[in-house]
Amino acid sequence: MPRRRLSERQLERIRAIQERRRQRLEDRRDSVLESLDEVEPRDGLVVVRHGANLAVEDDAGALHHCVTRRNIGHPVCGDRVIWQPSGDGTGVVTALQHRDNALSRPDFSGRDKPLAANLSLLAVVVAPQPPPSGYLVDQYLVAAELIGVRALLVAGKMDLLDDAEQAGFLDGLAHYQAIGYPVCPISTKGQPGLGALTDHLTGQTAILLGQSGVGKSSLVQALLPDQAIQVGRLSKATGLGRHTTSAATCYRLPDDGRLIDSPGVRSFRLTGLSLTQLERGFRDLSPLLGRCRFRDCRHGEEPGCAVRKAAEHGLIDTRRVDNFLHLRDSLVR
């Protein structure tokens, strides 16, 4: 039938067009891949991410504007990556290296979204004003424990207190020091300065956390006197403009070390955890776990609870146990 023959011819033509198109796409992909083959893959560190655009720092400290291959996951600030210059002054990130850890925050759909990777220190800032909330401090410490990152407490604004008041304030934090979280008294405006903290930051990749008003922004400014210059270099390298400072950014400290600053994550709250996760988040509970009479003890009203018994005997701090129970009731799924 003429009609049918015609339609077969049409189909044939369409097939041929599609084949040519596929071939062209393949050629183009091959040529891109070939051009990448000619350049050595290089190590890099993601300094800031803005959507699909990354600022990647090479081993020599130079910054490169990179885009990522679609299939390699989502590199974030602090990630180590493999990248290749792509000829037009930008680069292509071709692989995401293993992540030691990542600090995440739930996005609006409730899914955990990594914000910063490969941290080595979480610095929790407290101050006489606003008065410290042990409940919030313990949440930051739980976050640190769960991602396996060391934590310390920064006792800020010490210039506001006389010697006796300062001793009293630090005494209120002594139970943290006792379970292995160092406490660093500092001031950005007077004595005792920042020495105790900068010693701890040397060689680390740190992030500051703490409730609003405790002095985090002031501290970031004091620790990064050249922050504006670093931001300028970043926006020049990426062409992304200065609005990138709202994204998590990995700054270089004047001495050896890095500070990841993320205004959006500075005062995050924990969300849904399992009881086991919460228990793991309280390092002072760990020697007691498994010692309660009931295997599924929730450390509340149950008889024979090792946690409550330890608290009654002063072996662990009752404020910590109270916060644990409070978090259990508000967070545990």
Ligand X SMILES: Nc1nc2c(ncn2[C@@H]2O[C@H](COP(=O)(O)OP(=O)(O)O)[C@@H](O)[C@H]2O)c(=O)[nH]1
Which position has the token pair 């949440």? Answer: 139
* Of 49-57, 152-160, 170-178, 236-244: span binding ligand X (CB under 6 A): 152-160
Tell me the three state secondary structure of residue 312.
helix
| Smallest separation (angstroms) from Zn ion to the CB of 333 | 19
Asked if 299 interacts with ligand X (CB under 6 A), we say no
Alpha-carbon distance of 136 to 76, in angstroms, equals 25
Asked if 217 interacts with ligand X (CB under 6 A), we say yes
Per-residue mark of binding to Mg ion, 278-297 (x: CB under 5 A): --------------------
Of the candidates 220, 161, 158, which has an alpha carbon nearest to the alpha carbon of residue 189? 158
Per-residue mark of binding to ligand X, 158-177 (x: CB under 6 A): -xx-----------------
Candidate list 273, 292, 321, 327; residue touching Zn ion; CB under 5 A: 292
Alpha-carbon distance of 248 to 266, in angstroms, equals 10
Residue 219 tokens read as 């501290």
The residues, ordered by sequence, that sit 6+ positions from 268 with a Cβ below 8 Å of its Cβ are: 105, 143, 209
Can you list the pairs that 4-10 forms with residues at least 24 positions away whose Cβ atoms lie under 8 Å? none
Asked if 299 interacts with Zn ion (CB under 5 A), we say yes
Contacted entry of Zn ion, ligand X, Mg ion, none for residue 205, CB cut-off 5 to 8 Å set by kind: none
Asked if 212 interacts with ligand X (CB under 6 A), we say yes
State which residue, 54 or 126, has the beta carbon closest to ligand X: 126
* Of 147-155, 196-204, 296-304, 318-326: span binding Zn ion (CB under 5 A): 296-304
| Smallest separation (angstroms) from Mg ion to the CB of 218 | 8
CB atoms within 10 A of CB 269: 12
Candidate list 97, 198, 217, 277; residue touching Mg ion; CB under 5 A: 217
Alpha-carbon distance of 94 to 72, in angstroms, equals 7
| Smallest separation (angstroms) from ligand X to the CB of 195 | 13
Residue 47 tokens read as 């300094």
Alpha-carbon distance of 175 to 153, in angstroms, equals 11
| Smallest separation (angstroms) from ligand X to the CB of 323 | 21
What phi-psi label fits residue 167: left (phi over 0), alpha (psi between -120 and 50 degrees) or beta?
alpha
For ligand X, the binding residues (CB under 6 A) are 156-157, 159-160, 187-189, 210, 212-218
For Mg ion, the binding residues (CB under 5 A) are 217
For Zn ion, the binding residues (CB under 5 A) are 292, 297, 299, 305, 307
